[in-house]
Amino acid sequence: MRIGERFHELGVFFCGFLKEPIKVGTGLQSTRFLAKKLDSALEHLDLADGNVLELGAGTGRLTERIVKRLGSTTRLVCVESEPLFVDYLKKKFGSDDRVTVVQGRAEDARGHLDDLGIESVPSVVSAVPLSGRKNFSLLRTIRDCLSDNGRLVQMALVGRRSFEKEDFQYLRRLFILLNMPPEMLHVCEKRNGCGC
């Protein structure tokens, strides 16, 4: 990405934060250190074919990393609630037929997949904050979207028990201290045949 494009993206992200600070969560984009750790976490996902769901795509900084790993027939569905980010994502990835951008809430992801004719996905990447969400309803939504043994990479400053309570098998945690704020990536797997 050229310097001018990068500054434009930073401006779009900061404007989105000013418009909806609680929803966006931070005025700073994910750092390159987080992006590198995401590469390590993505190795646990099946991105070669089928469908992938990304929740909270923002301006697509992490989406770029996912797209680089997609197979030629893989479809990436990005769900983003902030209209400013949705417009930016559609321009940024509009020439890639594998990427579909949907404006909506992460909690409504099951309905968005139904609208696209997608029964389930083997992989979910989520940057939507979990803290402050009552009863971790987002994790239940993600579980409902995943196929049996499907995997989740979730960005969140929470403990592993939060995932285990929602019928996920906890696989790995990656710390990213050189990010503002510091962050954790959790890799989990949906337990086969859980009552969803």
Residue with tokens 């989520």: 126
Q: What is the C-alpha separation between 79 and 106, in angstroms, rounded? A: 6
Q: What is the C-alpha separation between 120 and 46, in angstroms, rounded? A: 13
Above 60 in pLDDT, residue 38? yes
Q: What is the mean pLDDT of the chain?
A: 82
How much of the chain exceeds pLDDT 90, in percent?
Answer: 51
Q: Which long-range contacts (CB under 8 A, 24 or more apart) does 66-74 make?
A: 66/42, 66/125, 67/93, 67/96, 67/98, 67/99, 69/42, 70/98, 71/47, 72/98, 73/49, 73/98, 74/47, 74/48, 74/49, 74/50, 74/98
User: Where residue 45 falls among pLDDT bands split at 50, 70, 90?
Assistant: very high
The confidence score (pLDDT) of residue 180 equals 57
pLDDT digits (tens, 9 = 90+) for 108-150: 999 999 999 999 999 999 988 876 555 478 999 999 999 999 9
Report domain extents, the chain.
31-190
Q: What is the C-alpha separation between 68 and 59, in angstroms, rounded? A: 16
The pLDDT of 94-113, averaged and rounded, is 96
DSSP character at residue 36 = H
The pLDDT of 54-68, averaged and rounded, is 92
The confidence score (pLDDT) of residue 189 equals 97
**pTM for the model:** 0.82
| CATH assignment, 31-190 | 3.40.50.150
User: Where residue 176 falls among pLDDT bands split at 50, 70, 90?
Assistant: confident
The confidence score (pLDDT) of residue 30 equals 58
pLDDT digits (tens, 9 = 90+) for 6-35: 545 555 554 555 555 545 454 444 566 667
